[in-house]
Amino acid sequence: MKLGFLVDLNLCMGCKGCEIACKVENEVPLSSWRLRVKYIDIGTFPDTSRSFTPLRCNHCENAPCERICPVSALHYLDNGIVNIDSSRCIGCAGCMMACPYGAIYMDPESNTADKCTYCAHRIEGGLMPACVVACPVEANIFGDVEDETSHISRYIMEHQGAVQVRKPEKHTNPKHYYVGGGNQTLNPLAHERIEGYGLFNNITHLDTLGDPHHSILDRFLTPIFGGHNDHLKNESFVDMPNEAGHDSHEEGGHH
Amino acid sequence: MDHVSTIEATKAVVTLDVALPGIIWGWMITLNMWAKSIGTGVILVGAFLLYRHKKEDMPNLRWMMPLISFIALNVFLLFTLVDLHQPLRMVNIFLHPHWTSAITVGAWMASLFTGLVTLMALIGFFDAHPDLRRHCPLANGCRKVSGLYEKVFPFVVFLALPVTMYTAIIMAQSSARELWAAPAEVIQMLLAAFMVGSASLILISGNWSKEAKRDLALILALSVMFSFLMYMGEYFFSYKAAEVEATLAYIHYGGSYNLQFWSAMVLGYIIPFFIAWGSLKDENRIMMKFAAVTTLIGLYLAKSTWLEIPQMIPLS
């Protein structure tokens, strides 16, 4: 069994439902993403189009992240998933330097590397990955690429010649395929990131890696004494008293 | 907006994406590589000098060489540890080693190397200072096993080679950054060790014989020359894949690392080469020390540039 993913970019409408489903299912902390949908604009006005590309771990058959991990925190499962054991990770970021797809992040809560696992916990229970379930147009297709009767295998056969992987020249043998992609959507060097072009914000780069409040001293003390970064948990944002809202309510009462 | 005219018609523009990580391996890893080059370089250059000259020509080499190496290796190990986001789990490299990883193999070799260098430093130091701590059991124990120094030394020299070069393998395994995967990097690492190894020994070679100092100047001149030629060859003449070309744009004219790169070339390579070459005929002690310092600074800047520019380009 070799589990794989296929995204039909012709179907994807950029709703980011998969991105949110992934965030919720895996409790991915703020400033981190296991799956993201990138928007790019192609062409010259008035002949322009917007393309949406979901990007996640490619679960490579020849995974550089697995090879470079010094403690086997990154490891293969029997079904082909490249899984990660955060409790073993030493946080060297070697996997982040090895992954040609930029799919690994440093979790700011645990200060360990993390990434998409194709929702391995759901697969084990016979469920589909959260992003597949959430997709309203079934652009995400998931299944066993070694089973020729599976949906994904039939989809690949039906679209022969149009199925692509990202960066095939890296010889990583990704198990994540795209239909309807092109150089501009799949090659990061074929598009530019220009300040001022972002739809909602202009933040192009993170200031820090992992927890910004995790000082060098904290790295040694937190595992022993613990609890320094409770303020960063997603729950803390939910429970946070909304003072701004309260103030504005009071202010509103005056008018 | 001015930048509209700069977008190539063939290029798309990212209009919505998440913030990407910037420099992941920063100054701590630069310092790590730089210190390791010193730690192994002094051993390699010291071994060559001991092979070529009598011990009396370099009276302080026997204890200063392992001591410098010991200090540099501890700087290297300290910053390796501090750069980890979970430093206390470093022990997992020894408890759960993953042998396909150059990080694992390197950590084991560097630990063994540091252990042997520590032994040599202790023996060398207490042998050179017979009146120091005469009643200390450790000092006396070291003096008793003085002969172990010469027995361990060949293994240390042999181990210094892979310990110097394994970082190039780590970088090659970091396959996301093509600039690091150049086969020449193994040789660049070795040349870097000879550069800063000879530079460090120049700083302590005040009372050495002229012949030994001339050899030091020759090693410095040759290592900076070959290293510089390799950089220039790669920069100007080699075939570059698209990703490497995009990476090197940061050191081209107008690139954000242009000044740092050429400062590194001038300080670390061009200045030391001419001073060291000149010193072969007519020794100038002050200028040689100046060249040693510029070499140490230049190599740090070169390593920093080489480490950071591939991390600037987006991977997805």
Give the integer Cα–Cα distance in Å for A1 and A118. 14
What average pLDDT does this structure show over A107-115?
A: 92
Q: How many CB atoms lie within 10 A of CB A251?
A: 9
Do A224 and A125 fall into the same domain? no
Rounded to the nearest angstrom, the minimum Cα separation between A44 and chain B is 7
Question: At A229, is the pLDDT very low, low, confident or very high (cuts 50, 70, 90)?
Answer: low
Give the integer Cα–Cα distance in Å for A162 and B33. 44
> What confidence score (pLDDT) does residue A241 get?
52
Residue A157, helix vs strand vs coil: helix
Interface probe, candidates B83, B175, B248, chain A, greatest A C-beta count within 10 A = B175
Flag if A90 and B315 touch (Cβ within 8 Å): no
What average pLDDT does this structure show over B276-293?
A: 94
Smallest Cβ distance to B107: which of A67, A70, A194? Answer: A70
Smallest Cβ distance to B174: which of A55, A90, A94? Answer: A94
Smallest Cβ distance to B86: which of A90, A105, A206? Answer: A90
Peptide bond into A241 cis (omega under 30): no
> What confidence score (pLDDT) does residue A244 get?
44
Task: Please say which residue of A173, A190, A207 terminates a domain.
Answer: A190
Give the integer Cα–Cα distance in Å for A237 and A6. 34
pLDDT at A248 over 80: no
| Kind plus residue range of the DSSP H or E element containing A176 | strand A176-179
> What confidence score (pLDDT) does residue B182 get?
85
Q: What is the pLDDT of residues A86-96, one digit of tens each?
A: 999 999 999 99
Flag if B170 and A196 touch (Cβ within 8 Å): no
**Nearest residue in chain B measured CA to CA from A86:** B86
Smallest Cβ distance to B96: which of A36, A88, A170? Answer: A88
The answer to the question of residue A247 being in a domain is yes
Which two tokens mark B98? 């993953």
Smallest Cβ distance to A170: which of B92, B98, B175? Answer: B175
The answer to the question of residue A55 being in a domain is yes
Query: Using an 8 Å Cβ cutoff, are B45 and B203 in contact?
Result: no
Give the integer Cα–Cα distance in Å for A205 and A243. 29
**Nearest residue in chain A measured CA to CA from B1:** A196
Rounded to the nearest angstrom, the minimum Cα separation between B105 and chain A is 8
Interface of B with A in 160-199 (CB under 8 A): 170, 173-177
DSSP A232: G
pLDDT, averaged across chain B = 93
**Nearest residue in chain B measured CA to CA from A224:** B88
| Kind plus residue range of the DSSP H or E element containing A116 | none
Flag if A219 and B84 touch (Cβ within 8 Å): yes
Q: Which residues of B touch A42 (CB under 8 A)?
A: 12
The verdict on B14 touching A (C-beta cutoff 8 Å) is yes
Give the integer Cα–Cα distance in Å for B308 and A92. 16
Q: What is the pLDDT of residues A43-74, one digit of tens each?
A: 887 888 999 999 999 999 999 999 999 999 99
Side chain identity, residue B56: E
Flag if B13 and A50 touch (Cβ within 8 Å): no
Rounded to the nearest angstrom, the minimum Cα separation between A146 and chain B is 27
Smallest Cβ distance to A33: which of B1, B18, B177? Answer: B18
Q: Which residues of B touch A209 (CB under 8 A)?
A: 21-22, 24, 85
Do A144 and A230 fall into the same domain? no
Q: What is the pLDDT of residues A167-217, one digit of tens each?
A: 999 999 999 999 999 888 999 998 888 776 777 766 677 777 777 777 777
Please compute Rg for chain B using Cα positions. Answer: 22
Q: Which residues of B touch A91 (CB under 8 A)?
A: 84-87, 89
Do A182 and A220 fall into the same domain? no
What average pLDDT does this structure show over B120-137?
A: 91
Domain range summary for chain B, segments of one domain joined by +: 21-312
Q: Which residue carries 């001591």 as its tokens? A: B67
pLDDT at B276 over 50: yes
The answer to the question of residue A92 being in a domain is yes
**Nearest residue in chain A measured CA to CA from B83:** A92
Rounded to the nearest angstrom, the minimum Cα separation between A213 and chain B is 12
Signed CA dihedral, B151, B153, B159, B161: sign only: negative
Query: Using an 8 Å Cβ cutoff, are A142 and A149 in contact?
Result: no
The larger pLDDT score, comparing residue A150 to residue B176, is at A150
> What confidence score (pLDDT) does residue B131 get?
86
Flag if A111 and B86 touch (Cβ within 8 Å): yes
Flag if A189 and B315 touch (Cβ within 8 Å): no
Flag if A199 and B15 touch (Cβ within 8 Å): yes
Q: In this complex, how many residue pairs, one in chain A and one in chain B, have their CB atoms less than 8 Å apart?
A: 197
pLDDT, averaged across chain A = 87
Flag if B89 and A103 touch (Cβ within 8 Å): no
Q: What is the pLDDT of residues A18-50, one digit of tens each?
A: 999 999 999 999 889 999 999 999 988 788 899
Side chain identity, residue A92: C
The answer to the question of residue A208 being in a domain is no
What average pLDDT does this structure show over B282-308?
A: 96
Q: Which domain holds residue A56?
A: 3-190
Q: Which residues contact A81 (CB under 8 A, 6 or more apart)?
A: A3, A59, A117, A118, A120, A123
The verdict on B4 touching A (C-beta cutoff 8 Å) is no
Do A102 and A223 fall into the same domain? no
> What confidence score (pLDDT) does residue A246 get?
43
Q: Which residues of A touch B21 (CB under 8 A)?
A: 96, 102, 105-106, 205-206, 209
What average pLDDT does this structure show over A218-237?
A: 65
Give the integer Cα–Cα distance in Å for B157 and B54. 18
Flag if A70 and B316 touch (Cβ within 8 Å): no
Number of separate domains in chain A: 2
| Kind plus residue range of the DSSP H or E element containing A198 | none
Do A248 and A133 fall into the same domain? no
> What confidence score (pLDDT) does residue B282 get?
85
> What confidence score (pLDDT) does residue B132 get?
86
Rounded to the nearest angstrom, the minimum Cα separation between A147 and chain B is 29
Q: How many CB atoms lie within 10 A of CB B284?
A: 13
Looking at this predicted complex, what is its ipTM?
Answer: 0.91
Give the integer Cα–Cα distance in Å for A83 and A95. 12
Smallest Cβ distance to B12: which of A40, A89, A92? Answer: A40
Q: What is the pLDDT of residues B88-103, one digit of tens each?
A: 999 999 999 999 999 9
Strand partners, B12: A191
Q: Which residues of A touch B313 (CB under 8 A)?
A: 188-189
Smallest Cβ distance to B19: which of A71, A98, A204? Answer: A204
Give the integer Cα–Cα distance in Å for B140 and B160. 28
Residue A188, helix vs strand vs coil: helix
Question: At A255, is the pLDDT very low, low, confident or very high (cuts 50, 70, 90)?
Answer: very low
The answer to the question of residue A116 being in a domain is yes
Give the integer Cα–Cα distance in Å for A201 and B104. 40
Flag if B86 and A89 touch (Cβ within 8 Å): yes
Q: What is the pLDDT of residues B50-68, one digit of tens each?
A: 999 999 999 999 999 999 9
Query: Using an 8 Å Cβ cutoff, are B110 and B73 in contact?
Result: yes
Flag if B316 and A203 touch (Cβ within 8 Å): no
Do A120 and A242 fall into the same domain? no
Q: What is the 3-state secondary structure (H, E, C) of chain B?
A: CHHHHHCCCCCEEEEECCCECCCCCCHHHHHHHHHHHHHHHHHHHHHHHHHHCCHHHCCCHHHHHHHHHHHHHHHHHHHHHHHCCCHHHHHHHHHCCCCCCHHHHHHHHHHHHHHHHHHHHHHHHHHHCCCCCCCCHHHHHHHHCCCHHHHHHHHHHHHHHHHHHHHHHHHHHCCCCHHHHCCHHHHHHHHHHHHHHHHHHHCCCCCCCHHHHHHHHHHHHHHHHHHHHHHHHHHHHCCCCHHHHHHHCCCCCCCCCHHHHHHHHHHHHHHHHHHHHHHHHCCCHHHHHHHHHHHHHHHHHHHHHHHHHHHHCCCC
Flag if A39 and B17 touch (Cβ within 8 Å): yes
CATH of region B21-312: 1.20.1630.10
